[in-house]
Chain A
Amino acid sequence: MFDIATVLAGLGDAITPVNILFVVLGVVVGQFVGAVPGIGPVITIALAIPFTFALSPLSGIAFLVGINKGGLVGGAIPAILINTPGTPDAAATALDGYPLARKGKPLKAAKMALYSSVTGDTFSDIVLITVSPPLALVALMMGPIEIVCLLIFAFAVIAGLIGKSLAKGIVAAALGLLCASIGLDPEHSSPRFIFGVPDLFDGLPIASVAIGMLAAAEIFRRLAARRKKIAAAITFDPDQPREDRRVSWAEYWGCRFTIARGAVIGTLLGAAPGIGTTAASFMSYASAKQTSREPETFGKGNIHGIAATESANSAVMGANMIPMLTLGIPGSVSAALIIGALIIHGIQPGPLLFEQQARLIYGLFGAMIMANFCNFWIGLLGLRLWAFVIRAPESVIFSSAIVLCIVGVYLSTGTLFGVVVMLVFAAIGYAMTSFGYSVVIFIIAFFLGNRFELSLNQSLTLIDGDFSVMLDHPVALALLALAVLTAWWLSRKRSSANDPPT
Chain B
Amino acid sequence: MPSLNRLTGVACALAGLCLLLVVIPDQVEAIEDSGVQPATVPTAVAWVLMVAGTFHALFPTGDTPLDVPEALRAGLFLAIVGGGVYLMSEIGFLYVAPGLVLAIMLVMGERRWFVLWTAALPVGIWAILDLWLNRPLP
Distance in angstroms between the alpha carbons of A190 and B32 in the assembled complex: 12
Inter-chain CA distance A190–B19, complex, in Å, is: 18
- Chain A residues lying within 8 Å of B71, measured Cβ to Cβ, are 224, 430, 434
Q: A223-B77, A423-B85 are in contact. Are A190 and B38 (CB under 8 A)?
A: yes
Docked complex Cα distance between A388 and B49 (Å): 46
Task: Tell whether, in the assembled complex, residue B78 and residue A426 are in contact, meaning their CB atoms are under 8 Å apart.
Answer: yes
Closest to B97 in A: A403
> Which residues does chain B contribute within 8 Å of A435, judged by CB atoms?
4-5, 8, 64, 66
User: Could you give, for residues 187-198 of chain A, a 1 whenever the CB lies within 8 Å of some chain B CB and a 0 otherwise?
Assistant: 110111111000
Asked if B49 contacts A436 (CB within 8 A), the reply is no
In the complex, chain A residues whose CB is within 8 Å of the CB of B76: 224
B82 touches A423 (CB 8 A): yes
In the complex, the answer to whether B121 meets A187 with C-beta atoms within 8 Å is no
**Are the C-beta atoms of B65 and A436 separated by less than 8 Å?**
yes
Name which of A177-185, A251-259, A281-289, A365-373 contacts chain B. Answer: A177-185
Nearest residue (CB) in A for B102 is A399
Known contacts A168-B56, A403-B100, A434-B64, A181 near B70 by CB under 8 Å: no
Point out the residues of chain A lying under 8 angstroms from B53, CB to CB.
Answer: 167, 171
B8 with A223: CB separation less than 8 A: no
Q: By the criterion CB–CB under 8 Å, are B77 and A224 in contact?
A: yes
Whole-angstrom CA separation of A434 from B63 in the bound complex: 9
Number of A-B pairs, beta carbon distance below 8 Å: 183
Query: Which of B8, B69, B88, B104 is within 8 Å of A226, CB to CB?
Result: B69
Kindly state whether residue A478 has any CB partner on chain B within 8 Å. no
Q: How far is the CA of A23 from the CA of B101 in the complex (A)?
A: 35
Report how far A77 CA is from B52 CA in the complex, Å.
36
A72 to B65, CA, bound (A): 32
List B residues at the A interface (Cβ < 8 Å). 4-5, 8-9, 12, 19, 23, 27-29, 31, 34-36, 38-39, 41-42, 45, 48-49, 52-53, 55-56, 59-67, 69-71, 73-74, 76-78, 81-82, 85, 88-89, 93, 97, 100-101, 104-105, 108-110, 112, 115, 118, 121-122, 125, 129, 133, 135, 137-138
Binding site for B on A (CB under 8 A): 47, 163-168, 170-171, 174-175, 177-178, 181, 185, 187-188, 190-195, 220-221, 223-227, 230, 393-396, 398-400, 402-404, 406-407, 410-411, 416, 419-420, 423, 426-427, 430, 433-437, 449, 453, 456-457, 460-461, 464
Q: Could you pull out 27 A-B pairs where Cβ atoms are within 8 angstroms?
A: A164-B63, A165-B60, A167-B55, A168-B8, A174-B48, A181-B41, A187-B36, A191-B29, A192-B39, A224-B74, A224-B76, A226-B69, A226-B73, A395-B109, A400-B121, A403-B121, A404-B125, A406-B81, A406-B97, A416-B85, A416-B89, A420-B82, A423-B85, A449-B41, A453-B41, A457-B36, A460-B36
5 residue pairs, one from A and one from B, having the closest CB atoms: A165-B62, A224-B73, A167-B56, A224-B74, A185-B38
